[in-house]
Amino acid sequence: MSVLDLFRLDGKRALITGGSRGLGRAIAEAFADAGADLVLLGRDAASLQSARQDLLRFGRQVEILPGDLSVPAEAERLCQTALASFGPIHVLVNNVGGRRLSVAVEDQSLSDWQKLLDLNLTSAFVCCKILGKPMLERRGGSIINISSISGMVVGRGIYGRHYETAKAALTMFTKTLAVDWARFNVRVNAICPGGFLTDANRRWFSEKPELHDLFVSQVPMGRLGEPNEIGPLAVYLASDASSYMTGSAVVIDGGYTLW
Ligand SMILES: NC(=O)c1ccc[n+]([C@@H]2O[C@H](COP(=O)([O-])OP(=O)(O)OC[C@H]3O[C@@H](n4cnc5c(N)ncnc54)[C@H](OP(=O)(O)O)[C@@H]3O)[C@@H](O)[C@H]2O)c1
C-alpha cells in the first residue's frame, strides 16, 4: 500500500456544516475527490443545490439539508434528520461560523453576543454531541472543528470580540473532546485558518482595501490563502493518514501568527 492510500476517504460519509460556500465548500470538494460521500448543511437551499450539482462530478453521493445551525433547537433537529436520513456519518466538519459584526463590546447587545456564540460555538457542541455519539458506539470517527487564528491572537482593526472568544473556546472544546473520546477511537482536531480569500472576504476587502493591505502586511508569505489550500489539510485530518493525531489545533495562516 502506498502512503497516499492512507489519505483516501472511500466508503466514508462526511457531513460538512456550511458546505455550500467558502472554506466548507473547498473541503467538500477535496473530500469528494478523495472518495467520500457528502452531506452538506447550510441555510440557503439554492446554494446547497448548486454546490451539489457541481460536486456530483466526482461520482459520489451528495446529500443536502437546509437549515439554520445558529438556532440550537434547529441544529439539534438538523443533526437528528441527517443521522436518520443519511447516516452513518464517519467524518464531521464543524465549519459554520464567522465574525459577522464588527462592534465594540461596550456597544454590543447581549442578544447579539449570544446569537454569535451560538453560531460559532454552540452549533459545534450540538453537532459533536448528536453526530459524535454514534461514532463512540461504532468505536471510530474523525471530527474537525474549523476554529481560527482569532482563537489565538486578537484581530487588529476590527471589533466583534464574540469571535475571538468563541474560537478560543472551540479550540479548547476540541482538546477536551479529544481526551474524552480518545478511548473510543474518535479523533477530534481543529484547523485554525488565517485569512482566506473566500467570496465573502473578497467582498469585505473590496469595500475596505485598507484592511486588506493591513492584513497582508502581517503575513510573512505576503498573501491571503486560497480556499482550495485548506482541502488537503482537512483530508489529512479526516483520513487514516492522521491516525495518531487527536486534540491538535493546526494553524494554516501563511505565517501570520509567527510575527
Ligand atoms: N475565511 C477566512 O478567512 C477564515 C479565517 C479563519 C477562520 N474561518 C472560519 O472558517 C469557517 C468558514 O468560513 P467561510 O469564510 O468559508 O464562511 P462563508 O464563506 O461565510 O461560508 C459559510 C458557509 O456556512 C453556511 N452558513 C452560514 N451561517 C449558517 C447558519 N447559521 N446555519 C447553517 N449554515 C450556515 C453558509 O451557507 P448559507 O449562507 O446558505 O447558510 C456557507 O455554506 C468559519 O467558521 C470561519 O470562522 C474563516
Span 84-141, pLDDT tens digits: 999 999 999 999 999 999 999 999 999 999 999 999 999 999 999 999 999 999 999 9
Q: Is the pLDDT of residue 60 over 90?
A: yes
Whether residues 124 and 204 share a domain: the answer is no
Which segments of the chain are extended strands (E)? 13-17, 37-42, 62-66, 91-94, 141-146, 186-193, 249-252
CA atoms within 13 A on the CB side of 236: 13
| Residue 252, in any domain of the structure | no
CA 256 to chain centre: 19
Are residues 256 and 200 in contact, defined by beta-carbon separation less than 8 angstroms?
Answer: no
Residue 77 shares a structural domain with residue 148? yes
Q: What CATH number is given to the structural domain containing 72?
A: 3.40.50.720
Whether residue 109 sits in one domain with residue 210: no
Is any ligand 1 atom within 6 A of the Cβ of residue 28? no
Domain that holds residue 206: 198-226
In this predicted model, what pLDDT tens digit does every residue of 151-205 receive, in sequence order? 999 998 899 999 999 999 999 999 999 999 999 999 999 999 999 999 989 998 8
Q: Is 255 part of any domain? A: no
Atom of ligand 1 nearest to the CA of 193: 6
CA 232–ligand 1 middle distance (angstroms): 18
The reply to whether 158 and 217 lie within a common domain is no
Strand order in the sheet with 141-146: 62-66, 37-42, 13-17, 91-94, 141-146, 186-193, 249-252
Q: Which residue, judged by its Cα, is nearest atom 22 of ligand 1?
A: 18
Residue 19, φ and ψ in degrees, nearest 5? -90, 5
Averaged pLDDT score across all residues of the chain: 97
Whose cell is 440550537? That residue is 72
Greater confidence (201 vs 82) lies with 82
Structural domains counted in the chain: 2
Say if residue 130 is in the same domain as residue 202: no
Q: Are residues 75 and 182 in the same domain?
A: yes
163 has catalytic annotation: yes
Residue with the smallest CA separation from ligand 1 atom 25 is: 18
Do 218 and 99 fall within a single domain? no
Residue 208 has pLDDT above 90, yes or no: no
DSSP 241: G
Ligand 1 proximity of 155 Cβ (cutoff 6 Å): no
Please name the residues in contact with 105: beta carbons below 8 A apart, sequence gap of 6 or more.
159, 161
Ligand 1 and 128: CB distance under 6 A: no
**Residues 139 and 202 occupy one common structural domain:** no
Which is catalytic among the residues 163, 236, 244, 256?
163
Residue 25 alpha carbon, nearest atom of ligand 1: 43
257 is a domain residue: no
Compute the distance from residue 179 Cα to the ligand 1 centre, in Å. 27
Of ligand 1's listed atoms, the one at least distance from the Cα of 75 is: 32
Alpha-carbon dihedral sign for residues 142, 146, 147, 149: positive
Atom of ligand 1 nearest to the CA of 19: 43
